[in-house]
Amino acid sequence: MDIANKIGIYIKDSIEEVKKVTWPTRRETKNYTLLVIGISLVLAAYLGALDYIFNWLLERILQ
């Protein structure tokens, strides 16, 4: 079996596997996207607050 046949079989098998995938609905995709954005914002606010607190503490220590 030469390399061209192996590549062809790989592509054919890959297409068959993609057809078996259960893709999320538009609503599920929207909900998951909003969840990721929300968690990212909360985490960013938390890390920003920690950064502010540690910066404030370091300034007080170095004065």
pLDDT 10s digits, 11-56: 999 999 999 999 999 999 999 999 999 999 999 999 999 999 999 9
pLDDT in the model for residue 47: 99
pLDDT in the model for residue 57: 97
Nearest to 32 by CA among 45, 23, 20: 23
pLDDT in the model for residue 59: 95
pLDDT in the model for residue 49: 99
pLDDT in the model for residue 13: 96
Rounded Cα distance between 37 and 46, Å, is 14
Task: Report how far apart, in Å, the C-alpha atoms of 63 and of each of 24, 49, 50, 56 are.
Answer: 56, 21, 20, 11
3-state helix, strand, coil in the chain (%, to 5): 85, 0, 15
Tokens describing residue 24: 């999320």
Please indicate, yes or no, whether the overall pTM of this predicted structure exceeds 0.75: no
